């Protein structure tokens, strides 16, 4: 399963972006290069995600899919790891092909949106 890396292009606190803010998530991509919902439903294991921010330890999480709302990210504090009712952290607003250079919008809990560039798929 490829690891997709996103870096912050623009957000409320960082209008010029920040290379120090990034996400890594493991996604199965279909033949067209889009996130594969069928593969997500068929996989018994959670799809890992990681959040990196300056001066904060890396945070572990998961990628989720809901047919009504789409792809989402959820991250855990140490005591929440694996808890099913942990709130979702961000809605991924992107329907295109996952490839370097594309811009992905994340909508956070408060509805604030930020733009992220796909910088690597490995």
Neighbours of 102 (CB within 10 A): 15
Report whether pLDDT(12) > 60.
yes
DSSP 7-64: EEEE-SS-TT-EEEEEEEEE--B-TTSSB-HHHHHH-SSPEEEEEEETTEEEEEEEEE
Domain count, the chain: 1
Q: Which of 8-17, 73-82, 84-93, 101-110 has the lowest mean pLDDT?
A: 73-82
Report whether pLDDT(100) > 70.
yes
How far is 26 from 100, CA to CA, in rounded Å?
15
pLDDT for residue 79: 55
Residue-wise pLDDT for 43-66, tens only, equals 999 999 999 999 999 999 999 999
Residue-wise pLDDT for 23-48, tens only, equals 999 999 999 999 999 999 999 999 99
Q: What is the pTM of this model?
A: 0.89
Question: Domain containing 38: what range?
Answer: 3-121
């Amino acid at each position: 399963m490829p690891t997709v890396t996103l870096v912050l292009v623009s957000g409320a606190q960082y209008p010029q972006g920040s290379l120090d803010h990034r996400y890594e998530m493991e996604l199965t991509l279909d033949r067209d290069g889009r996130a594969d919902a069928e593969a997500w439903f068929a996989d018994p294991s959670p799809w890992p995600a990681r959040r990196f921010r300056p001066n904060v330890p890396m945070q572990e999480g998961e990628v989720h899919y809901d047919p009504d709302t789409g792809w989402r990210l959820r991250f855990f504090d140490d005591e929440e790891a694996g808890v099913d009712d942990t709130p979702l952290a961000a809605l991924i607003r992107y329907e295109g092909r996952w490839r370097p250079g594309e811009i992905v919008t994340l909508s956070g809990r408060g509805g604030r949106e930020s733009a992220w560039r796909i910088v690597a798929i490995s």
